């Protein structure tokens, strides 16, 4: 920017600095508020039960690893199940949903709107309302308490979201790009792999993150469709609560172990995600 | 797959047949999704609609018995109406759910928008915020509900201790146990948990707005506020609408968080908790299915209102 006189520019810059500091301060404040409950829980995981229930709350104490020792045995199988179910279902939801969203966005027929609404309608019924027919269906297909069963369930749960989100991203790609490709004689497959896929990468990474976390956190279907062999982490936590009574410190340790992979993944993903978001700008 | 002859675009006759091939391809791309959804989501849904017209106690009845619309409404011997549609407990649950949904979705959208705008601007510590805001949403609901439950606990819960020292609570009371503040306490948990979800979706939308548009607006001398309302908000609408629809659908069906914290307590009984109570606790499968069907219809009405009044465009 070229300025004729210096004083307004300096004043503007000073104002900008103050705003930036306020913003930074506000950020720390919001972050603290949002992270407090979690920090409080992780702290409790290292306390004894008596310390966890103390009034006023104990902040300084000698940390113990007993709670983690007790939770560890059941943790690893549940962690494996959660990882397989979340990653497998997200992958499958994209393998199925991305071509579907592409078809609806790039070749819209009169039925496209109906198909999208119909997909959404599978999310109108509460989970408890469909659980018994679903249980019987899974029993007949021998999918109860199996990982393929859980993957199928979570894929179904996330498919409408994947199709809707990807549809909204894919429609943002200017039609002229497809027209140009068509004139050059591109096939549908080429349009999909050469245009739609690379240009919707930011949308894919954001949507995949949503689908992963939805699958990771799901508890109702997991509780009803698995018992032991395929039980994911959400069931592992639940078992802790019912079999042990309300042992808060121990529950906190189990919960901390459940949250840990998400924290690690989230820390890696947010960098990738934002990079993907900013690189993939469509226009 | 469509052929890749380079000259098709110039010949209208060939062009039409290529278009037809493309449409057929599009259907094949769509079919796997439709089959999976029809099997795993569609079939149980139809089955539940069928069961809602039957009387079926899973503990005593060997099979469902067709009774028409009696689960919804039927006339007693003295001529008064009875059934689900006249059950005050059900309408109470509907009202509670609507209050919960409206307040949490409005707060989450505003907070999420604010967070997304802050993360999207350049300033110190944005990396920290980016990671931090994702955390509450990534914590499984079973964990976060227990965590908040513990913080709300009347004696040693830290929120109750703060409430007492601020003079908002009397000894032995808590925000979540008091029927007047319980729903608000649950909305707070839901906002804490789900505002990051909205922030993430809105952020993805913000990132796809080309920066040269802002440069052009700067050159034209448009103020930041004006830029937000004239440029950011309209361009953000598609992403915002999808986020709003999915969020509203989930809020209307909310079950696990309020159930873990409050169980079957009437002041926080949502539609889904009522359905579970009828189906599982009371073993009334037909009646519970009728509840589920009504929830389905209510959510459908909400969606139609959204899609028409906010004019979601599909192409």
**CA terminus-to-terminus distance, chain B:** 24
Residue B19: CB atoms within 10 Å: 14
Mean pLDDT calculated for residue range B200-219 = 78
- Residues with Cβ within 8 Å of B246's Cβ and at least 6 positions away in sequence, in order, are A123, A161, A164
Averaged confidence pLDDT in chain A: 82
- State the Cα–Cα distance between residues B7 and A269, nearest whole angstrom: 45
Average pLDDT over residues A117-126: 87
Q: Residue A170: is its pLDDT beyond 70?
A: yes
pTM for the whole thing? 0.82
- Whether residue B303 is predicted with pLDDT greater than 80 in this model: the reply is yes
Higher pLDDT, A172 or A45: A45
Instruction: Answer whether B116's CB lies under 8 Å from B203's CB.
Output: yes
Q: Which of A150, A105, A153, A23 is nearest to B44 (CA)?
A: A153
**What are the extents of the domains in chain B?**
4-41, 81-314
Which tokens sit at B59?
């503990």
pLDDT of residue B99: 95
pLDDT at A282: 38
Q: Which of A76-90, A94-108, A171-185 has the lowest mean pLDDT?
A: A171-185
pLDDT bracket for residue B127 (50, 70, 90): low
pLDDT category of residue B167 using cuts at 50, 70 and 90: confident
**Is B205 strand, coil or helix?**
helix
Measured in degrees and rounded to the nearest 5, phi and psi for residue B276 equal -65, -40
What band does A275 get if pLDDT is binned at 50, 70 and 90? low
B47 pLDDT more than 80: yes
The domain ranges of chain A are 8-45, 66-281
Distance CA B114, CA B108 (A): 10
A119-145 mean pLDDT: 90
Instruction: Compare A241 and B147 and report the one with higher pLDDT.
Output: B147
Residue B8 scores a pLDDT above 50 = no
Between chains, do A128 and B272 touch, taking CB under 8 Å as contact? yes
Question: Which pLDDT value is given to residue A84?
Answer: 96
Residue B225's pLDDT is 80
Q: What is the CA radius of gyration of chain B?
A: 26
How would residue A85 be classed by pLDDT, with cut points 50, 70 and 90? very high
Find out if CATH 1.10.3720.10 is the number for domain A66-281.
yes
**Mean pLDDT for chain B overall:** 82
Longest CA span, chain A:
80
Higher pLDDT, B126 or B6: B126
pLDDT at A51: 81
CA angle A42, A46, A48 (to 5 degrees): 125
DSSP per residue, chain A: ---SSHHHHHHHHHHHHHHHHHHHHHHHHHHHHHHHHHHHHHHHHTS-HHHHT-SSPP-S-----HHHHHHHHHHHHHHHHHHHHHHHHHHHHHHHHHHHHHHHHHS--TTHHHHHHHHHHTTSS-HHHHHHHHHHHHHHTT-TT-HHHHHHHHHHHHHHHHHHHHHHHHTTS-HHHHHHHHHTT--HHHIIIIIIHHHTHHHHHHHHHHHHHHHHH--HHHHHH-SSTT--HHHHHHHHHHHH-S-HHHHHHHHHHHHHHHHHHHHHHHHHHHHHHHHT---
Burial environment of residue A11 by CB neighbours within 10 A (0 to 12, 13 to 18, 19 or more): exposed
Over the stretch B104-118, which tens digit does the pLDDT of each residue have?
Answer: 999 999 988 888 887
Q: What is the pLDDT of residues B181-192, one digit of tens each?
A: 899 999 999 999
Both tokens assigned to A98: 């991305």
Is B40 in contact with A241 (Cβ distance < 8 A)? no
Mean pLDDT of the region A63-89: 90
Closest listed residue to residue A247, CA positions, set A66, A55, A37? A66
Is the pLDDT reported for residue A279 higher than 60? no
In angstroms, the separation between the Cα of residue A145 and the nearest Cα of chain B is 16
Residues of B in contact with A280 (CB under 8 A): 208
Quickly name the fold that domain B81-314 has: MetI-like fold (1.10.3720)
Look at residue B235 in the predicted model and tell me its pLDDT: 80
The model's confidence at residue B3, banded by pLDDT at 50, 70 and 90, is: very low
Lowest-pLDDT choice from A95-99, A232-236, A273-277 = A273-277
Q: Is the pLDDT of residue A160 over 50?
A: yes
B69 near A CB under 8 A: no
Q: Do A277 and B203 touch (CB under 8 A)?
A: yes
| Nearest alpha carbon to residue A161 among A114, A92, A85, A97 | A97
- Mean pLDDT for A245-264 is 81
By the 10 Å C-beta count (0-12 exposed, 13-18 middle, 19+ buried), B66 is classed as exposed
* Measured distance between the N- and C-terminal CA atoms of chain A, rounded to whole angstroms: 25
The number of angstroms, rounded, from the C-alpha of B198 to the middle of its chain's C-alpha atoms is: 11
Which residues 221-280 of B are in CB contact (within 8 Å) with A? 238-239, 242, 245-246, 249-250, 253, 255-256, 271-272, 275-276, 279-280
Q: What is the pLDDT of residue B105?
A: 95
For B125, the closest of A24, A96, A120 (CB atoms) is A24
Q: Assess A268–B contact: CB distance below 8 Å, yes or no.
A: no
Q: What are the pLDDT digits (tens) for A18-32?
A: 777 777 787 778 778
Q: What is the mean pLDDT of residues B136-146?
A: 82
Give me the pLDDT at residue B9, please. Answer: 40
């Amino acid at each position: 920017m070229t300025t004729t006189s210096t004083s307004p520019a300096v004043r503007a810059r000073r104002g900008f600095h103050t705003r930036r500091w306020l913003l930074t301060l506000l950020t720390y404040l919001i972050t603290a508020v949002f992270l407090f409950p979690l920090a409080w829980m992780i702290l409790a995981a290292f306390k004894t039960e008596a310390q966890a229930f103390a009034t006023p709350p104990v902040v300084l104490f000698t940390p113990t690893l007993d709670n983690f020792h007790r939770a560890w045995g059941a943790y690893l199988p549940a962690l494996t199940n959660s990882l397989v179910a979340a990653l497998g279902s997200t992958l499958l939801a994209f393998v199925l949903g991305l071509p579907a969203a592409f078809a609806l966005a790039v070749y819209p027929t009169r039925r496209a709107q109906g198909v999208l609404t119909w997909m959404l309608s599978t999310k109108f019924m509460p989970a408890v309302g469909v659980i018994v027919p679903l249980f019987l269906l899974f029993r007949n297909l021998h999918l109860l308490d199996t990982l393929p069963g859980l993957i199928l369930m979570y894929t179904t749960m996330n498919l409408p979201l994947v199709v809707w989100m990807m549809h909204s991203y894919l429609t943002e790609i200017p039609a002229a790009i497809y027209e140009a490709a068509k004139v050059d004689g591109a096939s549908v497959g080429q349009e999909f792999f050469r245009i739609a896929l690379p240009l919707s990468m930011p949308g894919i990474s954001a949507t995949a993150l949503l689908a992963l976390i939805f699958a990771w956190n799901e508890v109702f279907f997991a509780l009803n469709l698995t018992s032991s062999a395929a039980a994911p982490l959400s069931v592992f936590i639940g078992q802790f609560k019912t079999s042990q009574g309300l042992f808060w410190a121990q529950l906190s340790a189990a919960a901390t172990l459940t949250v840990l992979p998400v924290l690690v993944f989230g820390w890696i993903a947010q960098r990738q995600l934002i990079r993907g978001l900013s690189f993939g700008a469509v226009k | 797959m469509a052929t890749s002859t380079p000259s098709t675009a110039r010949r209208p006759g060939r062009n039409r047949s290529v278009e037809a091939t493309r449409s057929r391809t599009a259907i094949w791309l769509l079919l796997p999704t439709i089959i999976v959804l029809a099997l795993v989501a569609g079939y149980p849904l139809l089955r539940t609609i069928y069961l809602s017209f039957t009387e079926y106690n899973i503990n005593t009845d060997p099979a469902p018995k067709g009774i028409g619309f009696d689960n919804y409404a039927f006339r007693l011997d003295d001529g008064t109406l009875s059934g689900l549609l006249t059950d005050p407990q059900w309408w109470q649950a509907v009202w509670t759910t609507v209050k919960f949904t409206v307040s949490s979705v409005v707060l989450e959208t505003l907070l999420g928008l604010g967070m997304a705008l802050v993360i999207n601007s350049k300033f110190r510590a944005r990396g920290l915020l980016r990671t931090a805001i994702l955390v509450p949403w990534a914590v499984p609901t079973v964990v976060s509900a227990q965590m908040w439950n513990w913080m709300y606990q009347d004696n040693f819960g830290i929120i109750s201790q703060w409430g007492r020292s601020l003079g908002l609570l009397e000894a032995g009371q808590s925000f979540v146990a008091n029927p007047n503040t319980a729903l608000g306490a649950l909305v707070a948990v839901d906002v804490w948990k789900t505002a990051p979800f909205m922030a993430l979706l809105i952020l993805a939308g913000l990132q796809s707005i080309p920066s040269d548009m802002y440069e052009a607006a700067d050159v034209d001398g448009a103020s930041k506020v004006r830029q937000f309302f004239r440029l950011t908000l309209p361009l953000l609408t598609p992403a915002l609408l999808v986020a709003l629809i999915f969020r509203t659908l989930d809020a209307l069906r909310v079950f696990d968080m309020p159930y873990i914290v409050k169980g079957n307590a009437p002041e926080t009984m949502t539609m889904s908790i009522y359905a579970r109570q009828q189906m599982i606790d009371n073993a009334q499968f037909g009646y519970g299915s009728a509840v589920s069907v009504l929830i389905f219809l209510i959510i459908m009405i909400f969606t139609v209102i959204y899609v028409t009044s906010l004019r979601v465009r599909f192409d």
